[in-house]
Structure 1
Amino acid sequence: MSHKLFSTQTASDIYLLSLQSKQSRVTIKSLLNIIAFRFGKHERHQDYDWSQLHYENVLMLLSDLSNEGKSPATINVYLSALKGVAKEAWRKQLLSVETYQHIKEIKRFKGTRSIKGRALDLEELNTLIDYCMAQEGVIAMRDAAVIALVYGAGLRRHEAASLMLSDLNVKEGSIKVMGKGNKERINALHDRNLEIIDTWLDERGLAPGPLFLRARKGNRLINQPISGQTIYDVVIRRYKEAGLQRLTPHDLRRTFATKLLENGEDVFLVQDLMGHTSVETTKNYDMRDEKAKTKAAKALPF
């Protein structure tokens, strides 16, 4: 019976099952739905007949994405997903080996885009955290701890949202993080970060469960984890309230990398702390060059 159930899975379903990261599955599922709509006006990727996948329609899609102004990195994510689905379609004998090989051999798009986002200066960062801590209620204290830890450990949103209290080692002053591809890393925390988290724990309590709890109206905590979207909303809400320039949770992660590199740390060490597979990805978080270019331009005699 289980074999029969498995055999009904589409090639795109099986490809999604092969992805180790929950966040990756969410992202790629959305992307496959977009592809299915573009190829066959289907709202769900499961409804598209993946036996119709071929070299020409993949190339046409990539060309359309490029003409729409999508970055090479974004286009390559689409290409990677299509290659993954093509492989599963071939395994299910929906595609011939020749068709699969033609799709597999499509080359990645080359090129780079100007780096989005920014790195905060320390005055901005502390203004944001201090603003939260100055507000009344447990939600504000939680938000201060979220912002401090996303910066202080260089976390992705979903990494911060999925943290458990047991991941925090107060004695060692460290946090255990489960990153992409189930890669675990342990990052040491600054004393300032530990102080803010300790203040949050005074409000949260030490009951087992998520490190960052949801809160209902009236500042009542419930033993359920916040989501990555909640973290995004927290940062957007708090920077506006504090009167700061626009920033996102990922800007806090960029700030983490930039400050470490400004401090003279080796880029390979920063790569490990951020949970990156490639050092080239880490380099994209280095905002020092942007600051240097801005400083040089402003110093131009006029």
Structure 2
Amino acid sequence: MDYEVLDPVQHELVIKNEFDAPEINPALAFIATLHRGTSRYTMTSKLNVVARWAGAKDLRYLNWSAIRYEHVLAFITAMQEPGEDGKPHMSPRSVNCYLSALKGVANQAFLLKQMSEEAYARIKLIKSVRFLRLAAGRAISNDESEALLSATQIEMNPIAIRDHAILCLLLGCGLRRAEVAGIKLKSISFADSSIRVIGKGDKEREVFMIPEVKDALKKWLDVRGKEGDFVFGKFFKGWKFDPSGPLTPHAVGHIVQEYRVRAGLEDISTHDLRRTFATRLLAKNVDISTVKDMLGHSSITTTVMYDLRGKARLRKAAKKIKL
């Protein structure tokens, strides 16, 4: 991304010569503390954005140890400035994600003794941007989920059987797409109807399968075979399964979109299936603390954002209006 430079102060941070860089890059040290996979990829992308805003080639060429309170404020301010379309470069939620990343890098710089306690303390004092937004996404209806699953039954080939199992796990267990992609054969217990998954922050939790999910997964494993570690993977031509590696989270999202189109449904994101799982549990009067644990959330505040029961109520009421 290219952003207009707010103030030349950030150019003080650019490393002109690789020999001027600290022995250990605090940004890379911060990334190393994150869970392997999506978290590291996402944070690397964000820190590259910050580095390029400051005029550096990428995060390797920015002197993160020299970042101070005023630099972080300059970045946050620049991201909230309107672009050519009149909208801010970033939403408040995105700005806060970047702020969290910068605080994480500053923490590593402090621990590596590359930043003073005072400089680190001043950066920590920067408050998140306050905002209030409606809950993102939507919960799909029973008819929509039935149509989505039925779309996999049109052609009963190995790929369709795999994809049906993936959709069942998303809807029936509320998994994130990265969690589905990362399931290993050894993590499944059909005797206990459970699966151990690794979620955000490298946290492991146990999820339980309803009979429909269990049956779909069994059918897929019968087709898949026993080679390899990961449950889901790619296919070669001729329906030959590749057991050498897992599907990517992006591929899981692509599968959702493919069957959404086949089913003729309105726009649905992969995460909407997770929101649907949570909303349906809450509609059945499952207490929100239990739902939080089932989703693998750290805070009930996050789980509350997945409660989309009110949308159906408001939509039903709106239909009663007559002009």
TM range (shorter): over 0.9
Report whether the alignment pairs 1:120 with 2:137.
no
Please give the alpha-carbon distance, in whole angstroms, between the structure 1 residues aligned to 2:112 and 2:273. 44
Deviations for 1:47-73, whole angstroms, at most 9, x for unmatched residues?
111233121121121122233153332
Identity within the alignment, %: 35
- In structure 1, the partner of 2:33 is 18
Report whether the alignment pairs 1:30 with 2:45.
yes
Native 8 Å contact 1:15 1:88 kept in 2 = yes
Unaligned runs of 5+ in 1: 1-6
- Moved runs in structure 1, 4+ residues, more than 6 A? none
Please give the alpha-carbon distance, in whole angstroms, between the structure 1 residues aligned to 2:175 and 2:209. 12
Please give the alpha-carbon distance, in whole angstroms, between the structure 1 residues aligned to 2:103 and 2:192. 44
Report which stretch shifted further, 230-239 or 290-299.
290-299
The one-letter amino acid of 1:166's match is: K
Which of 51, 62, 66 aligns to 2:65? It is 51
User: Which runs of structure 2 are paired with 1:231-246 in the superposition (5 Å)?
Assistant: 231-246=252-267
Native 8 Å contact 2:26 2:65 kept in 1 = no
1:219 CA drift (Å):
1.8
Deviations for 1:155-178, whole angstroms, at most 9, x for unmatched residues?
111110010112111111121111
Please give the alpha-carbon distance, in whole angstroms, between the structure 2 residues aligned to 1:120 and 1:20. 30
Which of 64, 70, 77 aligns to 2:78? It is 64
1:128 CA drift (Å):
1.1
What SS is found at the alignment partner of 1:175? strand
Report which stretch shifted further, 246-255 or 134-143.
134-143
User: Which runs of structure 2 are paired with 1:1-302 in the superposition (5 Å)?
Assistant: 8-20=23-35, 22-42=37-57, 44-67=58-81, 68=88, 70-207=90-227, 209-223=229-243, 224-302=245-323
Calculate the aligned-residue CA RMSD, in Å.
1.7
In the comparison of the two structures, how many residue pairs are matched?
295
More helix by share: 1
Native 8 Å contact 1:166 1:208 kept in 2 = no
Structure-2 change in CA distance of 1:40 and 1:92 (3 Å): farther
Please give the alpha-carbon distance, in whole angstroms, between the structure 1 residues aligned to 2:157 and 2:139. 29
Structure-2 change in CA distance of 1:91 and 1:173 (3 Å): closer
Unaligned runs of 5+ in 2: 1-21, 82-87
Report which stretch shifted further, 277-286 or 215-224.
215-224
Native 8 Å contact 1:71 1:113 kept in 2 = no
Deviations for 1:211-233, whole angstroms, at most 9, x for unmatched residues?
11211232210102111011011
1:23 CA drift (Å):
2.4
- In structure 2, the partner of 1:4 is none
Deviations for 1:135-167, whole angstroms, at most 9, x for unmatched residues?
142111111111111111111111100101121
Per the normalisation by structure 2, the TM-score is 0.86
1:242 CA drift (Å):
1.8
The one-letter amino acid of 1:70's match is: M
What SS is found at the alignment partner of 1:212? coil
Please give the alpha-carbon distance, in whole angstroms, between the structure 2 residues aligned to 1:250 and 1:162. 16
Per the normalisation by structure 1, the TM-score is 0.92
- In structure 1, the partner of 2:17 is none
Native 8 Å contact 1:71 1:112 kept in 2 = no
